[in-house]
Structure 1
Amino acid sequence: MFKNYIKIAWRNLWKNRGYSSINIVGLAIGLACCLLIVLYIHDELSYDKYHVNKDRIYRVINSFEENEKLIRHDVWGVAPIGPALKADFPEVKNVVQFSGVTSISLKNNEKVFQEERVFFMDSTAFDVFSWKVLAGNPTTALTAPYTAVLTASTAKKYFGNENPIGKTLEGGLAAGRADPGLYKVTAVIEDVPTNSHFTFDALLSMSTFRKALPDYFDSWGYVDFYTYVLVSDQFNLSNFNKKIPQFLKKYSASSEGKYNFNLEPMLDAYMHSTAGRQPGVTGSVQNLYIFAIIGLFILFIACVNFMNLATSRSMERAKEVGVRKAIGASHRNLILQFMFESLALVFIAALLALLLVIILLPSMEAFAGKHFAWSSLFNLTTFSIFLGIVTITGIIAASYPAFILARFKPVEVLKGTFKTAAGGQFLRKGLVIFQFGLSIVLIAGTCIVFSQLHHLQHTNLGFQQDQMLVIDYNFDNEINKNLESIKNTFKRDKDVIAVSSSRSVPGAFFPNAGTEIESTEGKMVPLAPALFEVDIDFIPNMGIKMVAGRAYSRDFPADSAHSMIINEAAAKLWGYSNPQDIIGKRFAQWGKEGQVIGVVKDFNYLSLHNKVEALALRLEPWSSKFITIKLQQANLPETIARIEKTWTGLAPHIPFNYTFLDQSFQRQYEADYRFQRIFTTFSGFALFIACLGLLGLVTYTAQQRTKEIGIRKVLGSSVFGIIQLLSFDFIKLVIIAMCIAIPLAYWAMGKWLNNFAYHIDMQWWMFGIAGLSALFIALATVGYQALKAAKANPVDSLRDQ
């Protein structure tokens, strides 16, 4: 019997090659999309799980309050918390601390690179984290000052195939955390896995940092450290939290009553943390839910299409069922036969889906920002999930057609009085409404995502973005000593409009500064605004507008010691709704005292995900890291070549590391662009599969009304009239889908837009485009099949079949 099932299944597949191809391709695309989404979600959820002690690693989340108001809730915190936790809590078995990310130029003979992903880290790093050591002793690798651990790719970049252990790299100024010196390579580790919430190319010993700035390690006010702890197997977070108040009371004199903390599991760092100042990138749970829902919907649509296309051909096989039953075939045998045929299609679709995924896998890195190795596709978890999806899909997709076909009554079929049940028609129409409702939601979502990202690209941020060349020289002392001379040299270039220097530029790292400003009541109120350390030319060069007071000026020599400029948000934070009223008020910040001389218009120095927060612009050019050059439009490549030549003559010891400000600022939206690409692509696949489903229902309806169409043509009905007859019912279904989908899309995309502090307002045309697009696609799909039915020979239609 099994052999007979195979023969019949093969004959039917071959006889109906076009139908089978549509069915297989639709389901294969659905399964492939679902598998790709599973790979993406699995990778997102795998972050940091490669660490052996992953469930026992926590990190300190630091909270800072001013005037009983929470002003910061960051991972980035103070150094003394680490040793204090180790000393006061026996359940804390080990502590590792590392600095904020550091940029440092490293040199080996003629090979000079500026490394942007470097941390100063404690020697206990390898007791807590599980990075694979390829060479060297992990226990002592980061013990001595001026020692370094390199990743394999970094070691190869400097030393080629030579053994780097014991060799030295000449290191420049490390972002103010250590003086230049020779770093001895003490260990090499495998490149940090990409599914880590922070990654790096090199680690420098924390003792180097401590040697340069020992006072910072006892200060409860200096913030520059990430603290991670390894706890015991019996650790209970709830019990630990109960001890925190007593711990803080013990150290309250040092922290001035402003400091608080809690522990966060490391496994929550990437996907679930809400703290600021993260050591690396973070993910979005919301986006995972969106992709998971899209994946399930695509799979569901594919299953529905499979069933619709199968049942749309039920009339062709009705007589086969009648004859088989008449000669003794049992209900069970028929179900098994049709189940086998459907499962065969599902199996072929699954193989095709795997092939599609294998073909697409290499392009996923550029598309989704992730690298998927072949092993990720065939590992136990992913492959088990895929097999489960295929099995469930096969059972669901195969069961409905099998039970429907096996239920046909032989007497009715052979007499020609067989009719399909009304319930089945309602079910299929309901599924079409669901399919196109989802499609309209996805089309509207795509329009809104594109509009929001266009808004991000073209919103006036309050500063000059275009043609701004930013050179990163990493705080080099020689350059900072000769800044004015270097700037004047650049100004002599015919394509250079203006030049300035600063420690930060919009979109780059900046510190926060403890700052006191005189309030309206005459009291000195302490807060901690963001800080840009700039030169005199920064504000005019960046095109930042003044709303009160004046900018820094060479006409006022006292500006360098006794003046400060803030933004509108800072003025409001200190209680001045009118910026003019804060001009002349006293300030104290990091050893500098004087008066507020100006207020700049708020500009978006961070991405539009964030509201503009309080900012102080401190005149301190000798703390600069960047030189920003405003260029003319013409001859850009030639201009860059000339500037590079000039730079090499001025600073041959520093690589010419440059970016354009608009490009570097837009990097903050990489995750949003990645979301756009994934969302749009899978939306397109969902729409395509929905069209296949509609094609199935149109085919089914045309078959059911074959004789009616023949009679109408004989009686004089036109081709257009027949098309109109068959299309009208489906147009109604799409209109119903629009009525359901548009409010749903409005609600869902409103939730997504709330992730941005500055976002577009949803317009009616976005939903209009979605509805009309779905309507047009439906008309094209229905029209093709309706035209085919309308042009059929009425003699063939009326012949008894």
Structure 2
Amino acid sequence: MIKNYLKIAWRGLIRNKGYSSINIVGLSMGLAACMLIVLYVGHELSYDKFHGNADNIYQAETEMTFGKDPIYIPYLDYSEGPKSKISVAGIEEYLRYQKISENVLVTNTETPSLKFSEDNILFADPNFFEFFSFNLTNGNKREVLINPNSMVISERIATKYFADADPIGKSLQLFGNMLFTITGVAENPPSNSSIHFDFIMPISSMLRIEKYKEDIEQGYSNFTTLFLLDELADPKMVEASLLNSIGKNSGDDLQKKYLLKPLRSLHLGEDWAKNKYIRIFPLVALLILILALVNYASLSTARSTTRSKEVGVRKVMGAPRKAIAQQFYFESALYTVISFVFGYFLCLTTQSKFFELLGVEVDKAFIYSPEMLLSLLLLLLLTIFLAAAYPAILLSSFKPIVVLQGKMSKQQGGVALRKFFTVFQFSISVVLIICALVMDRQLDFFRHADTGVDRENIVMLPFSGNLGKHFGAFQEEVSSLSEIVETTSGILPLYKGHNMMSAQSDTGDEMIFLPTLTINKDFISMMGLDWAIPPKDSIAQMGNKSAVIINQAAVARLSLKDNPIHQKINDRYEIQGVLKDFNYSSLHHKIGALSLFVKNDPSYAWLEQGGVLYAKVGPKTNIPTILDELKIIYQKYENEQPFEYYFLDDVFDSQYKAEDRLAKIFGAFTGFAILIAVMGLFGLATFTALQRRKEIGIRKVLGASVENVATLLSKDFLKLVLLAICIASPFAYWFMDKWMENFAYKAPISWWIFVLAGVGTLAVALATIGFQSIKTATTNPIKSLRTE
């Protein structure tokens, strides 16, 4: 019986190639989009799940409150982990690790020419591979990190430095002339791990490196600290015990407490972009799948009149309704399986671009993992059920007497349903179009907003302490280049972070955290910053450590006088000038208080720990050439850290990568939705023309023109599309208004966006319907009036 059902379904598919192609292509596209989103969302939700004790591992975080402002620090001090295990009930084990923030030169001692600057370096407790479930291909997990000079490397590093040779027992040179012996090789961390490493060395090694040893001894070191809790332990009780055991209050203004964050929540955490993706993408996937299914159901019910006599005859011959429903279920299953196969290949060919657009890497091992394959199988079964349900119920419900008397055309339920489907499809499409246009407009607003900073043609060159010791000579050589207009310097690159200091408000009732930038005297003029209250003395004379410049927002935040010149912050820093507010961070947030410390030290001692050189490139400069010249100068003073550069406007734009990616993906999914809707509209228009071919033939014989016939066939569909636009616009406005609440500065949602989306949708629909209408209207009426 099943074989017979499939044979009938296959014959129907071959006989109706046009409708079959529309159904299969539409479903394939919808399923491909769903598969991509299932893979992405599944990957994001699976982070750190592979660890055997993942559900009982928590990361400790310190919350410190100054006045009313809390600060969250995801670290503990070097000594707090061991103390916690001894004094806090419920903690079975602890692990500390610290990732090196700067690049480190790594040299193969056997082949000194094999040296690279590496950045994925961790110091960790010896129980690292027992605490976590990272696999070792070589080495004993209990012993690989016991000795202070031991090292575990990843498989990719083993290949990079030793090719096919066994690296165990060999040495690598780091941190100048320190040798580390390789005692283990670990599998590359999976893409869904929040901890990534290429080199792991024991924490005890840090005590042999002067700059790290000093920080540890003085209590300035910050270690990511994780606790493995007993299965019966209450994390809240452990937090309270941590406060009682190792937490201390420092005066009235500082309050400290500890928080435990589940390991599996760390990846998403407070990441706005990822959380938005996780919430929005499943909804988009569901909408696109519904569009494809609606497309299928609409065309299936449209063709119901051509199958009605078949159903009527089978019922007269004794076929039960159940058997007829089963036949149509198998037909739908065949269409869906074929669509699924095509959709899967489409997913495989586009997934690399999709993940690249999202800025994530997904291992093939995860893509082909049992969990993901099971998810795709469930998607297939769900699609088969949803695609087959309505057509099977509808077609198996035909009454044989009504059908065989030729009265099917009088049943209008199918027509009303198809109209609803058309409105529904185009409503979703219009919503997506409007959302894509609003997102693109907001991104354009970000890129061209007046931030109060002259960002054009400024390149930033970060450098370490090695170059910092010779910064004066380095800056002089850069300034001597004819293509460089001017230079300045600072501790941190603009838009890539800032330091903080605590400040007492002028009323004295609260402690405030004040972002700070440490800059050279030429920074303000080079960046084109404007003065609200200029300093009385020259900026060049502001080398005094007690001098500070603030912005207008800081005046308000600290409750200072309108003219705060010579007032002091914390009875220490004297205000020398007030800058007009400018955006020193992204436009997601309103401009906050800011303080600037201006340096005028000719020895540049303040840059001996590293900083950034700002160089303004002249107009009509060959950028690759000037970058090569800057690299040559840089390498004269720095042979360990690689040459890096950032253009200021690119760094500013990179703050909106999440929105840019979201807009691009919305654009791609919008294209999917429109194409699916257009295909469905084309199929319905074709079927309607086929049903009315005799009517059209008679009209043409009676003198109707091609224009009359095309208008007759098009106007009903265009009314439905217009209705869809009217329904979709308020929903799209509401949705985008909610989305825009995430931004302190935003472009208005203009009326022309809705007009453009509506006109564009009508134009596409008109072109789709018009093609089939004109084709039908120009058909020879003799063919349509010929007796069958």
Structure 1-normalised TM-score? 0.88
**1:63·1:72 contact (CA, 8 Å) conserved in 2?**
yes
Is 1:500 aligned to residue 504 of structure 2?
A: no
Secondary structure of residue in 2 paired with 1:344: helix
The one-character-per-residue Cα deviations of 1:358-392 (angstroms, maximum 9, x if unpaired) are 33334344333334454444432222222222222
1:562 aligned residue (518, 537, 546): 546
Partner residue of 1:258? 255
Q: Which residue pairs with 1:642 in the alignment?
A: 629
Q: Distance in 2 between matches of 1:357 and 1:703?
A: 35
1:723 matched to 2:710: yes
Query: Following TM superposition, by how much is the alpha carbon of 1:574 offset from its aligned partner in structure 2, in angstroms?
Result: 1.4
Read off the aligned partner of 1:632 and give its amino acid letter: G
Q: Give secondary structure in 1 for the equivalent of 2:656.
A: helix
Judging changes above 3 Å, is the alpha-carbon distance between structure 1 residues 140 and 386 closer, same or farther for their aligned structure 2 residues? closer
Contact 2:298 2:421 in 1 (8 A): no
Q: Which moved more, 1:597-606 or 1:388-397?
A: 597-606
Report the equivalent of 2:376.
386
CA distance in 1, matches of 2:616, 2:708: 66
**1:170 lines up with 2:149 in the alignment:** no
CA distance in 2, matches of 1:470, 1:54: 41
Partner in structure 1 of residue 229 of structure 2: 231
How do 1:444-523 and structure 2 match up within 5 A?
A: 444-476=434-466, 479-513=467-501, 515-516=502-503, 519-521=505-507
Amino acid at match of 2:155: A
Matched, 1:571 2:531: no
- 2:156 is aligned with 1:153: yes
Q: Check the 8 A contact 1:99/1:120 in 2, yes or no.
A: yes
Cα distance between partner residues in 1 of 2:743 and 2:646: 25
Instruction: Give the equivalent residue in structure 2 for 1:195.
Output: 192
- Which residue of structure 2 lines up, in the alignment, with residue 105 of structure 1? 104
- Per the TM alignment, residue 231 of structure 1 is displaced from its structure 2 partner at its CA by 1.0
Change (3 A) 1:609 1:150: farther
Q: Spell out, residue by residue over 1:531-561, the C-alpha distance to the aligned partner (whole angstroms, 9 max, x if none).
A: 33333333333333333343996742x6243
Aligned to 2:740: 753
Q: 1:61 to 1:205 in 2, by over 3 A?
A: same
Shift in Å, 1:771: 1.6
State the match for 1:85 in structure 2.
Answer: 84
4+ long deviations beyond 6 Å: none
Q: Which runs of 5+ in 2 are unaligned?
A: 600-605
**What do the CA deviations read for 1:700-737 (whole angstroms, capped 9, x no partner)?**
43344344333333332222222222222222222221
Distance in 2 between residues matched to 1:292 and 1:677, nearest whole Å: 16
The more displaced of 678-687 and 689-698 is 689-698
- Residues 673 and 561 of structure 1: CA distance in aligned 2, closer, same or farther (over 3 Å): same
Cα distance in 2 for residues equivalent to 1:649 and 1:369 = 34
Q: 1:484 to 1:540 in 2, by over 3 A?
A: farther
Match of 1:23 in 2: 23
Specify the alignment match of 1:691 in structure 2: 678
Name the counterpart of 1:125: 128
In structure 1, what residue type is equivalent to 2:225?
T
Residue 427 of structure 2 is aligned to residue 437 of structure 1: yes
Q: 1:61 and 1:667 mapped to 2: Cα distance?
A: 28
CA distance 1:653–1:691, change in 2 (3 Å): closer
Deviation at 1:449, TM superposition (A): 1.6
- Rounded Cα–Cα distance in structure 1 between residues aligned with 2:115 and 2:512: 41
What does the per-residue CA deviation read over 1:609-643, in whole Å, with 9 as the maximum and x for residues that have no partner? Answer: 34433333333333432222211131222222222
Q: Which residue of 2 aligns with 1:632?
A: 618
The alignment partner of 1:625 has SS state of: strand
Name the structure 1 match of 2:602: none
Change (3 A) 1:451 1:113: farther
The answer on whether the counterparts of 1:553 and 1:559 sit within 8 Å (CA) in structure 2 is no
After superposition, residues 543-692 of structure 1 pair within 5 angstroms as: 543-550=528-535, 555-556=540-541, 559-576=543-560, 578=562, 580-581=563-564, 583-587=565-569, 593-618=572-597, 619=599, 620-633=606-619, 634-652=621-639, 654-692=641-679
- Deviations 1:420-439 (CA, angstroms, capped at 9, x unpaired): 53222222211211111110
1:541 and 1:114 map into 2 onto residues whose CA distance is 32
Deviation string, structure 1 residues 389-413 (Cα, Å, up to 9, x no partner): 2222222222322333333344444
Show the 5 A alignment for 1:353-432: 353-432=343-422
The alpha-carbon deviation at position 445 of structure 1 amounts to: 0.8
CA shift, 1:778, in A, is: 1.6
**1:701-712 matched pairs, under 5 angstroms:** 701-712=688-699
Q: How far did 1:332 drift?
A: 3.6
1:550 aligned counterpart, secondary structure? coil
Partner-residue secondary structure (3-state), 1:168: strand
**Partner SS for 1:252:** coil
Single out whichever of 24-33 and 70-79 deviates more from structure 2.
70-79
The question of whether the paired residues in 2 share the 8 Å contact of 1:270 and 1:283 is answered with: no
User: Relative to 1, partners in 2 of residues 1:215 and 1:483: Cα closer, same or farther, differing over 3 Å?
Assistant: closer
- 1:461-491 Cα deviation digits (max 9, x unpaired): 3333332222222222xx3232222211211
Partners of 2:185 and 2:44 lie apart in 1 by 27
Alpha-carbon deviation of 1:444?
Answer: 0.6
Residue 524 of structure 1: how far off its partner (Å): 10
Residue 269 of structure 1 aligns with an amino acid whose one-letter code is L
CA distance in 2, matches of 1:669, 1:188: 38
Q: Are 1:301 and 1:693, in contact at CA under 8 Å, matched by a contact in 2? A: no
Q: State the 1:688 CA deviation.
A: 0.9
Question: 2: CA distance between counterparts of 1:135 and 1:609?
Answer: 47
Contact 2:302 2:418 in 1 (8 A): no
Q: Deviations over 1:45-68 (max 9, x none)?
A: 11111222111111123222122x
Q: Distance in 2 between matches of 1:327 and 1:238?
A: 71
Correspondence 1:314 to 2:304: yes
Aligned residues: 773
Corresponding residue number in structure 1 for 2:603: none
Aligned match of 2:512: 527
For normalisation by structure 2, the TM-score amounts to: 0.89
Shift in Å, 1:326: 4.3
One-letter amino acid of the structure 1 residue matched with residue 62 of structure 2: N
What does the per-residue CA deviation read over 1:122-147, in whole Å, with 9 as the maximum and x for residues that have no partner? 44433433322344555465566676
Find the aligned partners of 2:141 and 2:553 in 1 and give their Cα distance.
47
Find 2:526's aligned residue among 541, 550, 564.
541
**Aligned partners of 2:470, 2:537: CA distance in 1, in Å?**
20
Q: What is the CA–CA distance in structure 1 between the aligned matches of 2:630 and 2:307, rounded to whole Å?
A: 77
Counterpart residue type for residue 355 of structure 1: F
* Aligned-partner Cα distance in 2 for 1:549–1:224: 40
Cα 1:470–1:118 change in 2 (3 A) is farther
Counterpart AA for 2:328:
F
d(CA) in 2 for partners of 1:184, 1:88: 35
CA contact (8 A) 2:60 2:259 kept: yes
User: Quick one: distance in 2 between partners of 1:4 and 1:415?
Assistant: 28
Rounded Cα–Cα distance in structure 2 between residues aligned with 1:728 and 1:606: 52
- Alignment-mate amino acid for residue 11 of structure 1: R
Letter in structure 2 aligned against 1:442: L
Check the 8 A contact 1:566/1:598 in 2, yes or no.
Answer: yes
Distance 1:200 1:131 in 2: 11
For residues 688 and 552 of structure 1, what CA distance do their matches in structure 2 show? 66
Give the share of equivalent positions with the same residue, in percent: 33
How far apart are residue 101 of structure 1 and its match?
5.1
Provide the C-alpha distance between the structure 2 equivalents of 1:387 and 1:461, rounded to a whole number of angstroms.
Answer: 50
> Are the counterparts in 2 of residues 512 and 531 from structure 1 also a CA contact under 8 Å?
yes
In the alignment, is the contact (CA less than 8 A) between 2:458 and 2:647 conserved in 1?
yes
